[in-house]
């Protein structure tokens, strides 16, 4: 199935150019404004991307009632690497420099975004890793949290759940009460919007919290 794409830009000429290039591709389907809620990929084309443009992405994604978040591809001439973490949190999965925005380049980037792949120039990859490291060291670890959103004690409890231990056995191994174990697991499940312990273990594995 061809990914459905909505192109947005504050510059009508830039938007028209991106639409013309993608419109010539047989691999994607372009959507009109009235149908943008059906998009599989949002393409935001701006000469400069700042927090203001990221807010546009957040507002557009908030409009769409959908189970899977809408991935966004940025096509831009200028992007501050210090904003990469904020961009990723806003739904950006790819940043394509305008100089590479040919029909082939755009189509490839859109297909990657639709398939769940990231497309970041190496300097932005490096910046993202640095910012994630700083976030973990300065914010999460001092509060007993990890990048997965799970606390260290929650991870310990989920690891034991994954190994098949009962609540009383987990309590014995963690040297705490059964009530504490239940509270740890329930807190993680509720906070992350998970269904049950099995779902929580699966989430921990996918997020890398459990190897």
Q: Where in the chain is CATH 3.40.50.2300? A: 4-132
Report the C-alpha gap between 151 and 142 in whole angstroms: 11
CA distance 209 to 201: 9
Give pLDDT tens digits for 110-161.
Answer: 999 999 888 998 888 888 888 877 877 787 667 666 667 788 889 999 999 9
- DSSP-derived letter for residue 138 is I
- From CA 150, how far away is CA 66, in angstroms rounded? 25
| Positions of the chain with pLDDT under 50 | none
Which CATH number, 2.30.42.10, 1.10.287.1080, 3.40.50.10490, 3.40.50.2300, labels domain 4-132?
3.40.50.2300
pLDDT on residue 1: 77
Helix (H) or strand (E) holding 76: strand 72-79
Helix (H, G, I), strand (E, B) or coil at 148: coil
Class of domain 144-206: mainly alpha
Q: Is the CB of residue 118 less than 8 Å from the CB of residue 93?
A: yes
Q: What's the gap between Cα 138 and its chain centre?
A: 21
Could you tell me how far CA 186 lies from the centroid of its own chain? 24
Which segments of the chain belong to CATH 1.10.10.10?
144-206
Residue 106 β-bridge partners: none
- pTM for the whole structure: 0.67
* pLDDT of amino acid 139: 72
H-helix or E-strand spanning residue 77: strand 72-79
Number of C-beta neighbours around residue 128 at 10 A: 17
């Amino acid at each position: 199935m061809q990914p459905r794409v909505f192109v947005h830009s504050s510059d009508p000429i830039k938007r028209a150019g991106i639409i013309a290039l993608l419109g010539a591709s047989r691999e994607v389907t372009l959507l009109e404004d009235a149908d943008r809620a059906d998009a599989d990929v949002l393409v935001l084309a701006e000469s400069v991307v700042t927090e203001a443009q990221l807010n546009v992405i957040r507002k557009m994604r908030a409009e769409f009632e959908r189970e899977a978040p809408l991935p966004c591809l940025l096509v831009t001439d200028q992007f501050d690497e210090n904003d990469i973490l904020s961009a990723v949190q806003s739904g950006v999965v790819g940043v394509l420099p305008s100089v590479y925005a040919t029909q082939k380049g755009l189509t490839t980037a859109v297909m990657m975004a639709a398939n769940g792949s990231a497309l970041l120039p190496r300097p932005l990859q490096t910046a993202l890793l640095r910012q994630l490291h700083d976030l973990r060291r300065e914010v999460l670890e001092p509060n007993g949290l990890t990048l997965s959103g799970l606390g260290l004690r929650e991870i310990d409890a989920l690891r034991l759940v994954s190994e098949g231990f009962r609540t009383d056995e987990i309590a014995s191994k963690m040297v705490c009460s059964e009530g504490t174990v239940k509270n740890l697991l329930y807190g993680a499940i509720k906070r992350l919007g998970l269904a049950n312990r099995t779902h929580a273990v699966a989430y921990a594995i996918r997020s890398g919290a459990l190897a």
